[in-house]
Structure 1
Amino acid sequence: MAKDSGSGLPPGVETAWGLRERPGKGPRPGLSVARIVDAAIDLANAEGLSAVSMSRVASALGVSTMSLYRYVSSKDELLVLMEDTAYGLPPEGPAPEEEGWRTALAHWARAQRDVLYRNLWILRIPISTPPITPNSVAWMERGLVCLRDTGLDEGEKTQVILLVSGFVRNEATLAADLDAATRASGRSMEDVMASYTRLLAELTDPQRFPAVTAVLRAGVMDRPDGPDDEFVFGLERLLDGIEVLVRSRNASGR
C-alpha cells in the first residue's frame, strides 16, 4: 500500500505532488500510478465518469483490483489524479507584455475550454477544494501572470480568474448537458431547437410575453449560432467588463 506522508493533505493531493511513498517492485513491475490514471481517463472518455471504478480500471489493465490499492488508495484519490493529469500544464500562450492582458487571458480561457471539451467527465467531479494539485496551481499561476501588468491588486486578479474560469466551466457544462440530451433523444440539436421554437410559439402570446414574441418573430431561434459563437460572445463581454475595471484602476493611480 502507498504510505501516508503524515502531511495531513488528501491522499490524491499528496500523490500528485509526489509526497506519498510508492510501493516497491511487485509481481506487476509494469504497473504504476501513471498507467492506472491513464487507464481510468480512457475509460471516462469512452463511457463517462460513472463507468470509472477500481474494478473496471483493474480489468482494463489486466490486473486484480487489490493490486491497484498498492498504488492508489481509493477512488477519490484516483479522481484527483485523473483531473490533474487531464488538465496537464497550461500552454504558454501569448506574452501579456507583448500582446496585452486581454489577448493572453482569452487564450488562457480557451485553453481551459479545450481541456474540458476533450474530457467532459471532469465536469461531473464536484469541486470540493480550491486549486491545490500541481497542474491546477500552474493554471492559476498562468492566469495571474496574464494580469500581471493590469494595475489590479492581488485580490482583484484572483477574483478575475475565478470569474473567467467559472464562465468557462459553466459554458462547457451546458454544452455537455445539451449534447448528452440530444444524443439520448437520437435527434440533432437543430431538430431539438426547431421543436422547442414551435412549442414556445404555441404556448406564448404577445400580450403576456411580448419580449419572447419579439424574439420568435425576429427568427433568432431559427438561426442557431455556431458552436463557438455563444462562448466568444460571453467571453468578450466578460473581458469588456474587466477592461473597465483595469482602466479605472489605472486612472486612479492604484
Structure 2
Amino acid sequence: MSFPRFTDRAVLVTGAGSGLGRAIALAFAAEGARVAVAGRAAAPLDETVALIEAAGGTARAFTADVAVAEDTRRLVRDTVAAFGGLDVAVNNAGVFRGGHLAGDFPLEDWRTLLDINVTGVLHALQAEIAHMRAHGGGAIVNIASNLGAHVRVPGLFGYQVSKAAVSAITRAAALDHVADGIRINAVSPGAAESSMSLRPGETEADRAVRMKEESPLGRISSAAEIAAAVLYLASDAAGSAVGTDLVIDGGVSA
C-alpha cells in the first residue's frame, strides 16, 4: 500500500505544458498535491490540467513568462489565491539552443538562454522565497542538467553555461535560505523522455540507437524517473537534503 506524500500541499511547476514539466506535475497530482501548472502558452497547460483532472487530481493553469519578474510574482500570488499557499515549487521552465562553438555563439541565442534559463530561475526563486519565508518555509527544486556542471560536450556552449549557472544558483540560494525553513535543491537530468533530447531530424528510434552507445545504462531516462527524483527532493524524506544537485543521467557523468 502506498501513501501519498503531498496530500493537500500546494505545488507550482513551471514549464508544465509538455515533457518533463508535465510529467512532474502529473506525478505530484497523483500523490495528492494541488498543482499550479505554468508556462507561456495556455493550450498546452490546459492539456496538462485535463490529464490531471482525468486521473482524479486537482490543477489550475496560469500563463507566465519567467523571464519577466512581475509574471513570476503574479504567478505565486495566483497560486496562493487558488490553493491557499505554496508548499513546493519546481522551476523547470527552460529552453535549448545549440549547434555553435563558443567563438561563434549567436548573441541573440545567448541572451535568450540567460533570460529564461538563468534570470528566469532567479525571478521564480525570489517570488517563491518571498512567500515561503513569510509562511513557515517550503521546498524548491530547480531543474538543471548534467550538461554544464557535470559533463561538457562540444557545440553546446551556451546551454551548458546556462545550466551550470542553475546548479550554482541552487547551491548558493540553498545556503542563504535554509535558516528560513526553505530547502532548495536541483535535479540534473541527462537525455530523457523529452523532445529536448532529440537532435535535429532525429526520431525517437534514432535516439534509442544512439543512447545505446552514449549512455552506460544504454537508454534515456524516462520522464517518470526524473519526476521521481524531483518528488523525493521535495518530500519530507529528503528533510536534510540542502543544496543537493541530483544527477539522473544513466551514468554519463559518472
TM-score, normalised relative to structure 1: 0.32
Greater share of residues in strand = 2
Bigger fraction of residues in helix: 1
